[in-house]
Structure formats: C-alpha cells, structure tokens
Amino acid sequence: MSPKVFCIGFHKTGTTSLAKALRKLGYRVTGPNGTKDAEIAQKVWTMADELVAKYDAFQDNPWPVIYKEMDRKYPGSKFIFMSRNPQSWINSQVRDFGRSETPMRKWIYGVGCPEGNEEVYIARFEQHNREVAEYFADRPDDLLTMDLAAGDGWEKLCGFLDQNIPDEPFPHANKASLSRKLKNWLTALNE
C-alpha cells in the first residue's frame, strides 16, 4: 500500500490545485472536510479516522491542524506543505470568505472570519509555517514544500511521490479571474 499523503498547508495556498494533481496521479483525495458543528474539536477526530480509512490523500481542513497526530498515527506518511506569500494569502481569504464565519475557521484562527481580523489570521498562518518547518527539520524526506506562485509543479511533486510526470500542465484551480484582478487593481488605483 502506498503511504498516505497529507497536504498540511493552510487553505488558499494551492490545496485545490494539489488535490487535482494528486487525483491525476491516481490518488483518492478528500477535502476540505469541515463541519458546521460548534463542537468541532471533538468531531474532527472521528471524521479524520473515518476518512483516512477511505482515502489516500488529504487536503485543506482539518489536516493542517492535525498533521502531527496523523504523523504519529500513520507512520511512513508523506506530507506536502503548500506555501504562499502571506499578503497574497490573506487577500485571497478576505476576497473569498469576507465576514462569513465558520466553526472550522474559528477553531484554527480563534476568530471565524478573516475580514477585520487580518493580523490575527496572518499571525496564525506564519506560526503554522514555522511549526511545520520545525517539526520536519530533521526529516526532509517526509516533507515537500511547494509554492505554485514560484512555479513548482509536476517535477517537484512527482519526484517526491516517486510518480511519472503527466504530459499536461500542472492544474491551477481557484485563480482569480482576469476581470476580477483588473477590477481590484483599478479600485486600488482610485483609493
């Protein structure tokens, strides 16, 4: 059996693109796996065990928060950390989630919505990035760091997973549309 693959970068770092790539490589991928239940901390563990039994690869929430436990529980697993510029990341959070609150985001960041809480979100994002680097510092073969904005793609991913490189471009999901980018740029110019 192939090792489990956990994507442990926070959402909005390229996790959906990674999921598409992993599916192309033949992995059974699940995520995001949130819950609307306010008792989220208790529900996550039951949900995680059920999903790990059914899937090979896991992306988005709650996996970045519980990666240490998954590492202990499933030795030999592979971990992929999706990296992104913090300002670009928070801009995407605010654009996509705004003032919308969820128990999952409250569990991760301490507050449910990114808009108006940008500093809190960035601090947690950067804390997570440091924790991942420290946790895997002595285990470079178990962690792959990817940054899609820097051009990382098939070569890096397939080398890490010992897979053949597909003859197609690496998937890029959820990219802001050109019209939305242009509108945001024009709005910024007028401020």
Query: What residues does each domain of the chain span?
Result: 5-85+119-190
Does the structure show a pLDDT above 80 at 42? Answer: no
Task: Report pLDDT digits (tens) over 132-186.
Answer: 999 999 999 999 999 999 999 999 999 999 999 999 999 988 765 444 444 444 4
Read off the tokens for 122: 């960035």
Fold of 5-85+119-190: Rossmann fold (3.40.50)
- Kindly indicate the confidence band of residue 1, based on its pLDDT and cuts at 50, 70 and 90: low
Q: Per mean pLDDT, which range of 18-32, 81-95, 119-133, 152-166 is the poorest?
A: 18-32
Does the structure show a pLDDT above 70 at 19? Answer: yes
- The pLDDT score that the predictor gives to residue 36 is 53
What are the residue ranges of helices labelled H in 10-150? 15-24, 40-54, 67-73, 86-97, 103-109, 118-135
| Cα distance between residue 110 and residue 117, in whole Å | 10
- Kindly indicate the confidence band of residue 104, based on its pLDDT and cuts at 50, 70 and 90: confident
| Between 179 and 55, the higher pLDDT residue | 55
Q: How many angstroms from the chain centroid is the CA of residue 40?
A: 18
> CA 47, 52, 57, 63: dihedral to nearest 10 degrees?
40
